[in-house]
């Protein structure tokens, strides 16, 4: 970059450029005119380009980026004066509107760098791109030669959701070089995938249920743990859809959550506070009420389901293994007499904290509703028994037969509308071995001995001993646009110790925009361009709500300092690794972009020509495929439209899980069951032994000031959203705490220091902390308030996923 441009960018960042970033705060650059700016027309001295916020919140909202002389002057949201629901503006939330601060953040990465100190110390020296790429190519090739492709792994990454120049480019490159160790599942949905596939035959119905628009046909909306007003804030997203429909249709809304969230606060008709991890007990008590009061839809269960009673069990499995027998604790066919361990409302009240009469009334209301819309949030799957929690939640619409009909939902998250926007093809991975995304630290320490039956390894044949081993350790990690290498993975202190050991994982490549906690553990650190410096055509992602939006990103800002798009980086790596022609297919960067646009236009003919789209920025349509009712085809004709389960029906009893329960090797306290069941877990409400030392349950939640850990380095958002642990006044009083006190939250895994927020908006015995704050290690206390200092590497039983909302802690004044 020219020195003039270099100094211009340094000024925009408010500090002199240094190797690892500067410590001073960024300052605004006054380049806009002093006269007021018409919000609908760019100022004559400014250029305006459309771009997008590509953070992983599920929305990816469009933004208008104004610049002068190659420096961003302001970022605005989509804005028109004719803003009517159904043809409404696709407004960005505060995070998207703060993108200028993020682009010009003081910790913006500027050059390729090589680690010169211990891993994690953040000590780097500047090197050239040629030097960096030579090292990366040599390290990856030598790892393949010495340890095989199975020893290279991508940690989970979702911080830059490009369609063209993103992580897909790196996957494509590595597939051309023989592949890498696969991972299945992810931090958001791993246990949902399992619960949905075992119940409905695929992950789709659990991950994406009916459209939000179907709420207009419902008379009762039940949201268990679901909090759209904080996690789905886009002006075209689920929160806006829900609120608009709630205001116009006035359906009853019941929210079940340990916190009185921003999705409640007057929007709800009833809030029921529940202890984390006990939702399945509530669901079973509802089932008990419906069974004993003859409110279940017996005809639906007989025709569409496997495993409810004696008439629907798989061949060779008796009534005593049925769901009905389990709930009643009665093995006698036809009897409704409750046994000593029946799942009654009185039993559930002691566990959940919800009063017995409230459970009975909730059961009555749901049974009486003409079209209950039931939504089970992803937060329930991120617990120690996440698979069972979620499967138990699916039982509510199943027992009532409220599936596949207008105004109903299967329990899944709402399906977002979308239009076609191609992504860079990655090709097939020649490596078939796979581990759970959450077990990468285990695979670094002892991957060679990880097995199918103990650790959920996939793509490996069982050996003569009846098991099958992964057979290799992870020796190299590639981390693109992700902070799960450290910050978003569990037990940060233990994770840092594992990846800090160079004798185990021998090489770590990180590509990012900022010096995140994970970036500090890189051996080679490459600076990526930011979203506002990129061209791409992106879909508005999986949680865009009922409005589908294509965003044509463009830029008038050059890549800052020496940052480069990852596509160009991969072309140079492919050249060094002997696969350049296969990687590019003879196409230039512009060829790829133009071909992607042509594919999108062929799928959506009304999409304008690209020259027009570059100016108008977005193409949107409300419910382009109509309102979606999940499982509607199956409900209409289950024979012609069987599910992907072995039986083709909804499986309440899963023979596949019954087999795993018999054969898998589980840790003490873990449970795999053929039926969805409430399971008391380690570090759950009923773990009385651990609670003697750590009496408070701690759960995480998404804050408005971050999307996972993204945007944590934006000062505006830290001012707007308090990073504090929520605590009930009764718990606070017993510890002598008041709002604003600095407190230490601790357990055997570590200690963090944050402020406390004393509020009746959280139930007694439960605390909650926004996840995603950046880890700032001290001598023994994390001053950044990173929740994952306190979470565990112990996996969930079936998917070997993350139980990051299941924690017991104590809190004291700092």
Q: How far is CA 613 from CA 498, 551, 593, 609, 624, in A?
A: 48, 9, 13, 6, 19
- Residue 4 is predicted with a pLDDT of 36
- What average pLDDT does the chain have? 93
pLDDT over 50 at 607, yes or no: yes
Average pLDDT estimate for 46-73: 94
pLDDT over 70 at 538, yes or no: yes
**Residues 366 and 400 sit within 8 Å (Cβ to Cβ):** yes
pLDDT over 80 at 131, yes or no: yes
Cα 390 from Cα 79, distance rounded (Å): 39
Question: Across the strands, what pairs with 218?
Answer: none
Q: Give per-residue pLDDT as tens, 633-687.
A: 999 999 999 999 999 999 999 999 999 999 999 999 999 999 999 999 999 999 9
Residue at token pair 């200690």: 751
pLDDT over 50 at 36, yes or no: no
In the Cβ-directed half-sphere of 157, how many Cα atoms lie within 13 Å? Answer: 24
pLDDT over 70 at 24, yes or no: no
State the DSSP string of 645-683: STTSSEESS-HHHHHHHHHS---TT----SS------TT
Query: Domains in the chain, start-ordered, CATH in brackets?
Result: 3-103 (no CATH), 113-181+431-528+563-585 (3.40.50.740), 191-416+630-663 (3.40.228.10), 688-813 (2.40.40.20)
pLDDT over 80 at 92, yes or no: yes
Residue at token pair 């499986």: 651
Q: Give per-residue pLDDT as tens, 484-526.
A: 999 999 999 999 999 999 999 999 999 999 999 999 999 999 9
pLDDT > 90: percent of the chain = 87
266 or 56, higher pLDDT? 56
765 Cβ contact partners less than 8 Å away, ≥ 6 residues apart: 275, 353, 685, 695, 696, 697, 728, 731
Average pLDDT estimate for 273-279: 98
- Residue 40 is predicted with a pLDDT of 54
Tokens representing 452 are 């199918």
The pLDDT confidence band at residue 43, using thresholds 50, 70 and 90, is low
Going by C-alpha positions, the residue among 802, 809, 711 that lies closest to residue 768 is: 809
Q: Give per-residue pLDDT as tens, 678-736.
A: 999 999 999 999 999 999 999 999 999 999 999 999 999 999 999 999 999 999 999 99
Using alpha carbons only, give the angle 758, 764, 768 rounded to the nearest 5 degrees: 60
Cα 773 from Cα 693, distance rounded (Å): 26
pLDDT over 90 at 383, yes or no: yes
Average pLDDT estimate for 91-104: 94
Helical (H) or strand (E) element with 244: helix 238-249
Going 118 to 121 to 125 to 128, the CA torsion angle's sign is: positive
pLDDT over 70 at 34, yes or no: no
DSSP 17: -
Helical (H) or strand (E) element with 302: helix 298-304
pLDDT over 70 at 22, yes or no: no
SS3 content of the chain, % helix, strand, coil (to 5): 30, 20, 50
pLDDT over 80 at 554, yes or no: yes
- Residue 233 is predicted with a pLDDT of 85
Q: Give per-residue pLDDT as tens, 292-332.
A: 999 999 999 999 999 999 999 999 999 999 999 999 999 99
The pLDDT confidence band at residue 246, using thresholds 50, 70 and 90, is very high
Angle between helical axes of 190-200 and 386-400 (0-180°, round to 10)? 40
- Residue 235 is predicted with a pLDDT of 79
For residues 322, 324, 326, 332, the Cα torsion angle rounded to the nearest 10 degrees is -90
The pLDDT confidence band at residue 55, using thresholds 50, 70 and 90, is very high
- Residue 266 is predicted with a pLDDT of 82
Q: Give per-residue pLDDT as tens, 568-583.
A: 999 999 999 999 999 9
pLDDT over 80 at 67, yes or no: yes
Average pLDDT estimate for 280-287: 98
Average pLDDT estimate for 529-533: 96
The total number of residues shown for the chain amounts to: 814
- Cα 153 to the chain's mean position, in Å? 20
Tokens representing 550 are 């294509």
- Residue 83 is predicted with a pLDDT of 84
Cα 475 from Cα 145, distance rounded (Å): 12
Going by C-alpha positions, the residue among 566, 647, 679 that lies closest to residue 314 is: 647
**Residues 95 and 252 sit within 8 Å (Cβ to Cβ):** no
**R_g of the chain computed on alpha carbons:** 27
- Residue 81 is predicted with a pLDDT of 74
Average pLDDT estimate for 233-250: 90
Average pLDDT estimate for 110-115: 98
List the helix and strand counts (H, then E) for the chain: 27, 26
Cα 370 from Cα 635, distance rounded (Å): 17
Q: First vs last Cα of the chain: how many Å apart?
A: 48
- Residue 779 is predicted with a pLDDT of 82
Q: Give per-residue pLDDT as tens, 772-784.
A: 999 999 889 999 9
Average pLDDT estimate for 237-246: 92
pLDDT over 90 at 346, yes or no: yes
Q: Give per-residue pLDDT as tens, 453-495.
A: 999 999 999 888 778 999 999 999 999 999 999 999 999 999 9
- Residue 28 is predicted with a pLDDT of 31
- Residue 466 is predicted with a pLDDT of 77
The pLDDT confidence band at residue 44, using thresholds 50, 70 and 90, is low
Going 703 to 704 to 710 to 712, the CA torsion angle's sign is: negative
Average pLDDT estimate for 248-257: 97
Average pLDDT estimate for 351-370: 98
- Cα 91 to the chain's mean position, in Å? 21
Cα 242 from Cα 187, distance rounded (Å): 25
239 burial level (CB within 10 Å; 0-12, 13-18, 19+): buried
- Residue 267 is predicted with a pLDDT of 87
Going by C-alpha positions, the residue among 472, 509, 511, 430 that lies closest to residue 176 is: 430
- Residue 15 is predicted with a pLDDT of 37
- Residue 18 is predicted with a pLDDT of 34
């Amino acid at each position: 970059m020219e020195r003039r441009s270099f100094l211009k960018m340094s000024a925009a960042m408010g500090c002199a450029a240094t190797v690892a970033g500067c410590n001073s705060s960024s300052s605004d650059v006054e380049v806009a005119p002093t006269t007021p700016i018409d919000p609908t027309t760019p100022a004559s001295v400014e250029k305006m380009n459309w771009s997008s916020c590509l953070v992983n919140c599920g929305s990816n909202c469009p933004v208008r980026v104004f610049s002068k002389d190659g420096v961003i002057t302001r970022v605005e949201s989509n804005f028109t004066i004719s803003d009517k629901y159904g043809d409404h503006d696709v407004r960005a939330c505060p995070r998207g509107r703060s993108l200028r601060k993020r682009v010009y953040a003081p910790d913006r990465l500027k050059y390729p760098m090589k680690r010169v100190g211990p891993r994690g110390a953040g000590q780097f020296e500047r090197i050239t791109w040629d030097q960096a790429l030579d090292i990366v190519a040599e390290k990856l090739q030598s790892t393949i030669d010495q340890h095989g492709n199975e020893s290279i792994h991508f940690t989970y990454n979702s911080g830059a959701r490009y369609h063209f120049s993103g992580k897909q480019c790196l996957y494509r490159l590595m597939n051309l070089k023989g592949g890498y160790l696969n991972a299945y599942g992810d931090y958001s949905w791993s246990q949902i995938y399992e619960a949905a596939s075992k119940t409905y035959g695929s992950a789709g119905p659990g991950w994406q249920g009916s459209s939000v628009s179907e709420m207009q046909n419902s008379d009762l909306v039940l949201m268990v743990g679901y909090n759209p007003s904080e996690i789905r804030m886009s002006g075209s997203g689920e929160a806006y859809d829900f609120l608009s429909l709630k205001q116009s249709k006035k359906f009853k809304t019941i929210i079940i959550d340990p916190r009185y969230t921003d999705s409640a606060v007057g929007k709800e008709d009833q809030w029921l506070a529940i202890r984390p991890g006990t939702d399945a007990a509530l669901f079973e008590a509802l089932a008990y009420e419906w069974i004993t009061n003859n409110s279940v839809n017996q005809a639906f269960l007989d025709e569409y389901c496997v495993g409810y009673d004696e008439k629907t069990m798989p061949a060779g499995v008796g009534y005593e293994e049925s769901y009905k027998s389990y709930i009643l604790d009665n093995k006698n066919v036809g009897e409704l007499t409750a046994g000593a361990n029946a799942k009654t409302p009185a039993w559930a009240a002691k566990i959940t904290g919800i009063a017995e009469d409230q459970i009975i009334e909730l059961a009555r209301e749901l049974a009486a509703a003409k079209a209950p819309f039931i939504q089970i949030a992803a937060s329930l799957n991120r617990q120690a028994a996440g698979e069972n929690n979620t499967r138990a939640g699916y039982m509510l619409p199943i027992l009532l037969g409220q599936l596949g009909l207008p105004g109903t939902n299967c329990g899944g998250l709402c399906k977002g509308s979308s239009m076609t926007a191609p992504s860079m093809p990655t090709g097939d991975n020649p490596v078939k071995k796979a581990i759970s995304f959450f077990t990468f630290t285990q695979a670094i320490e002892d991957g060679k001995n990880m097995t199918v039956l103990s650790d959920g390894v996939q793509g490996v044949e069982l050996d003569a001993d009846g098991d099958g081993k992964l057979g290799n350790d992870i020796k190299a990690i590639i981390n693109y646009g992700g902070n799960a290498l450290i910050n978003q993975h569990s037990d940060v202190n233990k994770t840092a110790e594992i990846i800090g050991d160079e004798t185990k994982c021998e090489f770590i490549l990180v590509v990012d925009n900022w010096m995140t906690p994970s970036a500090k553990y890189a051996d080679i650190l490459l600076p990526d361009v930011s979203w506002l410096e990129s061209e791409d055509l992106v879909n508005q992602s999986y949680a865009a709500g009922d409005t589908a939006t294509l965003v044509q990103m463009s830029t008038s800002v050059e890549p800052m300092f020496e940052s480069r798009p990852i596509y160009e980086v991969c072309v140079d790596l492919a050249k060094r690794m002997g696969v350049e022609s296969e990687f590019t297919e003879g196409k230039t960067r512009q060829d790829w972009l133009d071909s992607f646009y042509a594919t999108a236009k062929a799928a959506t003919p009304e999409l304008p020509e690209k020259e027009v789209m570059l100016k108008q920025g977005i193409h949107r349509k409300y419910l382009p495929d109509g309102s979606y009712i999940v499982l509607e085809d199956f409900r209409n004709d289950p024979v012609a439209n069987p599910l992907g389960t072995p039986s083709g029906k909804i499986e309440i009893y899963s023979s596949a899980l019954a087999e795993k329960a018999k054969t898998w090797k589980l840790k003490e306290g873990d449970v795999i069951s053929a039926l969805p069941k409430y399971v008391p877990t380690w570090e759950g409400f009923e773990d009385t032994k651990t609670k003697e030392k750590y009496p408070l349950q701690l759960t995480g939640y998404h804050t408005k000031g971050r999307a996972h850990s993204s945007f944590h380095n934006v000062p505006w958002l830290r001012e707007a959203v308090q990073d504090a642990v929520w605590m009930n006044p009764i718990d606070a009083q017993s510890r002598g705490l008041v709002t604003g006190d600095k407190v230490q939250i601790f357990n055997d895994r570590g200690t963090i220091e944050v402020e406390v927020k004393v509020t009746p908006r959280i139930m007694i015995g439960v605390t909650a902390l926004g996840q995603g704050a950046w880890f700032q290690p001290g001598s023994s206390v994390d001053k950044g308030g990173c929740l994952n200092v306190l979470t565990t590497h112990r996996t969930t039983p079936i998917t070997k996923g993350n139980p990051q909302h299941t924690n017991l802690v104590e809190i004291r004044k700092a």
